[in-house]
């Protein structure tokens, strides 16, 4: 151990801030956490604590995505009562695809302490039919969620006139 600092040496007393009674937040993690909160990162999106109870709720809340000319892939983080705690724009891609890495999705899910997630993305082509890639990433993320004890409630593909819900179709 000589000449090497312990892995958590930066979590010394001066790097710890008490924010609420019984709530300890590390200054090192705080900037990362703040980028994940709705208020800090996506002020134009729905307000915190909005309850999601159906794919139609998701469609109405994120219908503004139909105006985008590039594919946007979003992970909606929910608490145990299906209330929004975080909206993470995972990827902004091209006209017909976006690159999504499961580890990036799950990293933000874990940092936000989400109990469940809903995946959302738009199809600029206005054809809501899920692609082979949509099916594959949903399967991979479902496996990750199952392993971590997080519920993947739905994957909603949004277009101007309609949407497709994986849960409504029995795919999830």
Which pLDDT score, from 0 to 100, does residue 48 have? 62
Q: Computed from CA positions of residues 44, 48, 50, 54, in that sequence, does the dihedral angle turn out positive or negative?
A: positive
Which pLDDT score, from 0 to 100, does residue 51 have? 86
Q: What is the CATH superfamily name and number for domain 44-165? A: Cytidine Deaminase, domain 2 (3.40.140.10)
Which pLDDT score, from 0 to 100, does residue 4 have? 43
* CA 112/CA 172 separation, integer angstroms: 23
Mean pLDDT calculated for residue range 89-94: 83
| Model confidence pLDDT, tens digit, residues 129-144 | 999 999 999 999 999 9
- State residue 25 phi and psi, 5-degree precision: -125, 130
CA angle 25, 151, 137 (to 5 degrees): 105
| Model confidence pLDDT, tens digit, residues 24-66 | 444 444 445 544 444 444 445 445 678 899 999 999 888 888 8
User: What is the crossing angle of helices 102-111 and 132-148, to 10°?
Assistant: 40
pLDDT reading at 23 higher than 70:
no
* CA 42/CA 34 separation, integer angstroms: 11
Which pLDDT score, from 0 to 100, does residue 59 have? 92
Please tell me the pTM assigned to this model. Answer: 0.72
Most confident of 38-42, 74-78, 88-92: 74-78
Task: Give the position of tokens 């469609």.
Answer: 59
DSSP string, 89-134: EEEE--SS-----HHHHHHHHHHTT-SEEEEEEE-TTS--PPPHHH
Q: 57 exposed, middle or buried (CB, 10 Å; 0-12, 13-18, 19+)? A: middle
- Name the pairing type of β-strands 72-78 and 16-20: unpaired
- Encoded tokens for 156: 């909603």
pLDDT reading at 12 higher than 70:
no
**Where in the chain are the domains?**
44-165
The DSSP H or E segment spanning 31 is helix 30-36
């Amino acid at each position: 151990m000589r000449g090497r600092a312990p892995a958590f040496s930066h979590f010394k007393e001066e790097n710890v801030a008490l924010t609420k009674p019984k709530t300890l937040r590390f200054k090192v993690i705080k900037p990362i956490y703040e980028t994940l909160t709705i208020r800090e990162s996506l002020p134009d999106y729905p307000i915190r604590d909005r309850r999601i109870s159906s794919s139609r709720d998701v469609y109405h809340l994120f219908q503004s995505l139909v105006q985008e000319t590039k594919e946007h892939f979003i992970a909606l983080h929910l608490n145990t009562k299906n209330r929004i705690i975080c909206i993470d724009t995972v990827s902004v891609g091209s006209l017909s695809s976006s690159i999504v890495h499961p580890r990036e999705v799950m990293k933000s899910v874990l940092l936000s302490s989400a109990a469940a997630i809903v995946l959302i993305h738009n199809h600029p082509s206005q054809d809501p039919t899920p692609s082979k890639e949509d099916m594959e990433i949903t399967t991979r993320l479902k496996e990750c969620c199952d392993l971590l004890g997080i519920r993947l409630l739905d994957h909603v593909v949004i277009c101007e006139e309609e949407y497709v819900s994986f849960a409504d179709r029995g795919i999830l």
